[in-house]
Each structure stands twice: as structure tokens, then as C-alpha cells.
């Protein structure tokens, strides 16, 4: 656990420096501190994606970028005028005198301890064993490998969050054996805890933001607690989405009316949306609510044609390295979501495998814990009831909350339309549309927690905003969060292993089969371990190798291809 704390300091230092560098001296001080650090992480993932075409994420890249980012961050702190530092100290002292500061500190301590206990545990997510850990190894050992998806289709599922995991962790074949693979993914939870605590401790805070922050925190911990130690992209993109939605809510519901975005803020919003897509392609649905917010809060001196041009330019700039990595890994711009878009490259994954991987995502989401190959073809009247019965209780509760909030807010809008919340209500409606698109495409809750939890938190916040008694609402949310956090601590402390006091638990060692591909060894996950490779040495694939798989050259970094000799 002590090493996890040090790793969080590493992540914070790098993200602070890069966040200031990318946002610039004018925009950076105006951003919420959590969003400023998220901007730094987003920029780091983009920069690593560019470097990955020619370099592995090894010690040279780690040390060089860390020194540059942390050094720039210290320079920004020292360069800040004395009046700025004095203002910061005065504001901090004033916040201690507000009635909500004690509850906010208690919230941060309880959830921080709960997060630390989970971050020190062994990674257990099945997908992490199947390909997350192996993907990080490939990133740390080689530049992007052509046709890696031919070895195992999931190795072509290109998430830029894995680049962050690789940057903030040690190599698997070194003495520290992947230490730090929990750091980047768990640091997103640190940002969410900080955001929720700030909303509850703000001087004269709005009930809307306090309810939004508190419920977002509780929902995210309920959804992801068992997997905090696993380097998964789902939690990171969910928390990034919630931080952006909170920022926009604050602008939409400002006391004196909506606060327009500056040009820099409009560009930042587009860049963060594009970054979310590079983290998880299903985040593309967020173009609906975030696009509306961009239109509603667009700068007054920026015409619509120029706004659209700016959005296209920034979106393309952020997405191009991701598209390029997709092409190198699989031969498709977006694998496997566009199986018809195969490029004529010798390493391109066969279209039949791309279609099979796409159908597996969709049908397994519709027919979990069953024969998804045939179940996914069932009509909605058959698969929807089966799907509902297989969901975890907390996911069922989340879905029911979203439906109930939609009905209540629609009823309130019909009876007494609230002018101040009209734009925020439209934002909530577009989040509901995202939920509908998710349900129609691939309704696995992990794929859509960003807009599912976002819809629940925004809907509850808007409903609370129309109720009397702001202080009581804030206290109720704080009490709910503390009860949940303390109950979680009670369970985790009882199961705490002293072996993780200094460093987090490593991956479980699984039995691995060995085979040879054209005379060279390849490892295979076996059925008894769920076909998982975990953190075993490269190369390793889940299950049997395709019969037409070949090396592209004498070096592993040259990748794999499929077809006849």
C-alpha cells in the first residue's frame, strides 16, 4: 500500500505538469483541479500513442517524460506571482471555516482508505487476465506490433488507457514484476473522491452539484470496487466522463445564468470527448450530450461554421494516433467495429475473425452466462428477460433508478417547467439517449457506465435542485456516502493481508501450455484457467493458435500475419 501512495504521487506530478502545459497559463487556473489533472493524463496518453510507433514504453520514455512534466510543474508553481499563492492560502483557510469542511475531509479519508485497500489487492478481472496485462507487456517491450490481433483478437482492442498503465508501471520481466499496474487506473478514483469532497465542502454549494458529486462517487465505487486493482479501461473512461459532466453542469446551472465557454474551453471539451473515444470506443455516444453542451455554451464570438471546423480539427488531431495504432495492430481503422473496412496490408486480420469478435461483444452482452453464440440471435422478447435476470443486483438497481428519474423529471417538467434547469434537463435527456443506444448495441453495463452513472447522478441532482432544504440534502448525501464507505471498510479491513502493506499483491500465477509456431515458442492460456495468460512472458494467446498463423519476420516486433505460405 505504501508503494501505491508513492505511485499516486508520481501520477499526480506528471499529470499536473502536463495539464498546465497543455491547458496553458490562462486556461489551467480556471479549470477544476481534478479536470486539470485529467487533462494531463489525456495529453500523456496522446503523446505516448505517438511515441509508440517507434519506441516501447520503457525506462527511457518513462524517465524522460517524467522529468520534463514534473520539472515544468515545479516551474509553474515557482513562477506563480506571490499574490496568487497568497490568494490560494486565504481561500484554503476560508474553506476550513465553512460548516461542510469536516464532512468533506471525513469523506476523503474514508473513501481514500477504501480505495487504497482495493488498489493493493491482486488483479482479478477476467479480461485483465485475458488481454489487459498482456497488452501492457507488449507496449512496454516493443513499439506497436503489426498484426498483433492475429495472435489473439483482443490484443487489437486498442485502448489508450493501457498506454498510461504501461507508463506508470514496471516491466513484467524485471525485478519489480509489473509493480504499478494498479496506479493509473486507481488514480482516476482519487480524482473522483477529490471532486465529490470539494462539492460537499464548497462555500454555499448548490445542492445540485453536491448531490451529483456524492452519488457519482457512490455509484462508481459500487460498480468498480472489486476491480480497482485491475488495469481496466472502463473505470477510467467512466470517471473522465463524470468529471466533464460535472464541469458542464456547473456552467449550465450557474446562479446568474449559463456561463459561456471560452474558445480554449470549447477546444478542450472536444479534445476530451475524442480522448474518451480513444479510451473506449463506446464513449462515442457521448457526442450527443457533450455536443449539445458545446452548442449551448459556445463562445459568443465564434460562429457555427468555425465552431464545427474547430471541433473537426481538434477531434482529428486527437484521434489520428489512435486510428493509426488500430491500423498497425489489426489492419482496420477501428477494430472490430468496422469489419468491412479491411485495408490491403499483409498483416490485416481476416474479416471473418473481425466479424466474430464484433458478434462476441454484442451477443455476449445480450446473453451473458449462457450460450451467447445462439442466444444472441434470439428476438428481444427472449433475450431481454434472460439478460435482466443475469445482471448484478446493483446494476438492476441502477437501471431502475434511471427509469424512475426519467419519469419523475418528465412529470415535473410537464407540471412546472423550470427555466433555469432547461438546458441541464436536455443534457439529461441526451444521456438517456446514450443509454438507449448502449442497450440496443451491446448492453454490458461495463461498456456504458459513463452515461449510465452519469444519467443517474445528473437526474438525481436535477431532481434535488427543485426540492427545498439544500443543507439537509447535502447532509443526506454525505451520510449515504459515509455509510457506504464505512461498511466497505469494515469488510475490507477484515480481509486485509499484511503481505500487501508495503507493495500490492502480484498477479496470480496460472498454468500455461506451450506450443511452437514455426519453430519458435508461444504460450497459451488453457481452459482450466479460463484461457487467461495473466502476466506470463510474451508471447501468449488465449486458447489454440489459428492454423494459418505465421510470423512476419525473424523478430517478434515484426508481428504476425494470416494466410497460406
pLDDT score for 438? 96
Strand-pair category, 512-517 with 540-542: unpaired
Quick one: pLDDT at residue 192? Answer: 97
* Cα angle for residues 209, 214, 219 (degrees, 5° grid): 125
pLDDT, tens digit, 9 for 90 and up, residues 213-239: 999 999 999 999 999 999 999 999 999
Per-residue confidence (pLDDT) for residue 443, from 0 to 100: 95
Q: In this structure, is the dihedral angle defined by the CA atoms of residues 225, 229, 230 and 233, taken in order, positive or negative?
A: positive
Q: What is the pLDDT of residues 449-464, one digit of tens each?
A: 999 999 999 999 998 8
Per-residue pLDDT tens digits for 284-340: 999 999 999 999 999 888 888 888 998 999 999 999 999 999 999 999 999 999 999
Which is it for strands 512-517 and 520-525: parallel, antiparallel or unpaired? Answer: antiparallel
State residue 494's pLDDT score: 82
Residue 417: pLDDT band (50, 70, 90) is: low
The DSSP code sequence of 25-61 is HHHGGGS-HHHHHHHHHHHHHHHHHHHTTT--S-HHH
CB–CB of 107/481 below 8 Å?
Answer: yes
Distance in angstroms (rounded) separating the CA atoms of residues 287 and 270: 9
Averaged pLDDT of the chain: 90
The residue to which cell 486556461 is assigned: 27
Geometric angle at alpha carbon 213, from 209 and 218, rounded to 5°: 150
What's residue 211's pLDDT?
92
Minimal CA–CA distance to 285: which of 137, 455, 127, 400?
455
In the block, cell 496553458 appears at 24
CB 246 within 8 Å of CB 216: yes
Q: Please state which of the ranges 60-64, 88-92, 193-197, 532-536 shows the lowest mean pLDDT.
A: 88-92
Name residues whose C-beta falls within 8 Å of residue 409's C-beta, 6 or more positions apart in sequence. 425, 428, 459, 462, 463
Model pLDDT for residues 118-165, shown as the tens digit of each residue: 999 999 999 999 999 999 999 999 999 999 999 999 999 999 999 999
Model confidence at 469, pLDDT cuts 50, 70, 90, reads low
Alpha-carbon distance values, 458 to 31, 34, 412 (Å): 20, 18, 15
What's the pTM value of the predicted model, to 2 decimals?
0.95
List the one residue out of 391, 108, 114 whose CA is nearest residue 225: 114
Residue 193 has pLDDT above 50, yes or no: yes
Distance CA 112, CA 227 (A): 16
**Residue 413: what pLDDT?**
81
| pLDDT reported for residue 83 | 47
For residue 203, the model assigns a pLDDT of 62
3-state helix, strand, coil in the chain (%, to 5): 70, 5, 30
DSSP 130: I
For strands 520-525 and 540-542, give the pairing: parallel
The residue-averaged pLDDT of 4-26 equals: 93
Q: Where are the domains of the chain?
A: 1-349, 372-472
- Is residue 76 very low, low, confident or very high in pLDDT (cuts 50, 70, 90)? confident
Collect all residues with Cβ–Cβ distance below 8 Å to 376 and sequence separation of at least 6.
359, 362, 363, 364, 366, 367, 383
Amino acid at each position: 500500500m505504501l508503494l501505491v501512495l508513492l505511485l499516486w504521487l508520481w501520477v499526480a506530478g506528471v499529470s499536473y505538469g502536463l495539464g498546465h502545459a497543455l491547458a496553458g497559463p490562462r486556461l489551467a487556473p480556471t479549470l477544476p483541479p481534478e479536470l486539470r489533472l485529467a487533462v494531463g493524463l489525456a495529453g500523456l496518453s496522446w503523446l505516448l500513442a505517438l511515441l509508440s510507433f517507434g519506441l516501447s514504453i520503457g525506462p527511457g520514455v518513462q524517465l524522460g517524460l517524467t522529468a520534463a512534466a514534473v520539472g515544468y510543474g515545479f516551474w509553474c508553481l515557482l513562477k506563480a506571482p506571490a499574490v496568487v499563492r497568497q490568494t490560494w492560502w486565504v481561500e484554503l483557510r476560508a474553506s476550513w471555516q465553512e460548516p461542510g469542511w469536516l464532512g468533506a475531509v471525513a469523506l476523503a479519508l474514508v473513501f481514500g482508505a477504501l480505495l487504497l485497500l482495493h488498489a493493493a489487492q491482486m488483479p482479478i478481472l477476467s479480461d485483465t487476465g485475458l488481454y489487459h496485462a498482456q497488452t501492457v507487456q507488449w507496449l512496454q517491450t516493443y513499439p506497436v506490433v503489426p498484426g498483433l490481433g492475429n495472435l489473439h483478437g483482443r490484443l487489437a482492442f486498442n485502448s489508450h488507457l493501457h498506454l498510461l498503465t504501461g507508463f506508470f508501471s514496471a516491466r513484467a520481466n524485471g525485478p519489480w514484476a509489473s509493480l504499478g499496474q494498479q496506479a493509473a487506473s486507481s488514480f482516476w478514483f482519487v480524482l473522483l473522491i477529490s471532486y465529490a469532497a470539494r462539492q460537499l465542502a464548497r462555500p454555499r454549494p448548490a445542492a445540485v452539484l453536491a448531490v451529483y458529486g456524492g452519488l457519482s462517487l457512490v455509484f462508481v465505487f459500487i460498480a468498480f470496487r472489486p476491480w480497482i486493482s485491475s488495469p481496466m479501461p472502463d473505470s477510467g473512461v467512466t470517471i473522465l466522463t463524470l468529471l466533464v459532466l460535472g464541469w458542464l453542469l456547473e456552467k449550465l446551472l450557474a446562479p446568474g445564468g449559463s456561463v459561456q465557454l471560452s474558445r480554449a474551453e470549447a477546444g478542450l471539451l472536444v479534445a476530451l470527448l475524442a480522448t474518451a473515444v480513444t479510451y473506449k470506443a463506446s464513449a462515442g455516444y457521448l457526442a450527443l450530450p457533450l455536443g449539445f453542451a458545446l452548442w449551448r455554451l459556445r463562445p459568443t464570438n465564434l460562429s457555427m461554421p468555425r465552431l464545427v471546423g474547430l471541433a473537426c480539427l481538434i477531434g482529428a488531431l486527437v484521434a489520428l494516433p489512435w486510428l493509426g495504432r488500430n491500423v498497425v495492430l489489426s489492419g482496420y481503422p477501428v477494430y472490430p467495429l468496422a469489419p468491412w473496412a479491411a485495408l490491403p496490408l499483409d498483416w490485416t486480420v481476416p474479416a471473418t475473425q473481425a466479424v466474430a469478435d464484433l458478434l462476441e461483444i454484442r451477443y455476449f452482452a445480450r446473453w451473458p452466462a449462457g450460450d451467447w453464440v445462439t442466444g444472441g440471435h434470439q428476438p428481444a422478447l427472449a433475450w431481454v428477460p434472460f439478460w435482466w435476470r443475469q445482471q448484478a443486483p446493483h446494476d438492476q438497481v441502477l437501471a431502475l433508478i434511471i427509469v424512475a428519474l426519467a419519469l419523475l423529471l418528465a412529470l415535473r417538467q410537464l407540471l412546472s417547467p423550470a427555466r433555469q434547469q432547461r438546458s441541464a434537463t436536455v443534457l439529461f435527456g441526451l444521456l438517456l439517449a446514450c443509454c438507449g443506444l448502449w442497450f440496443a448495441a451491446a448492453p454490458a453495463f461495463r461498456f456504458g457506465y459513463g452515461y449510465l452513472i452519469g444519467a443517474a447522478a445528473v437526474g438525481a441532482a436535477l431532481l434535488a435542485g427543485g426540492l427545498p432544504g439544500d443543507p439537509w440534502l447535502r447532509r443526506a448525501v454525505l451520510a449515504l456516502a459515509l455509510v457506504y464507505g464505512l461498511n466497505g471498510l469494515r469488510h475490507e479491513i477484515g480481509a486485509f493481508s499484511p503481505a500487501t502493506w508495503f507493495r500490492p499483491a502480484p498477479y496470480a500465477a496460472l498454468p500455461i501450455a506451450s506450443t511452437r509456431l514455426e519453430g519458435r515458442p508461444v504460450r497459451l492460456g488453457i481452459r482450466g484457467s479460463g484461457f487467461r495468460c495473466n502476466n506470463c512472458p510474451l508471447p501468449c494467446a488465449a486458447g489454440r493458435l489459428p492454423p494459418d498463423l505465421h510470423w512476419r519476420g525473424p523478430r517478434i516486433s515484426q508481428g504476425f500475419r494470416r494466410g497460406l505460405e
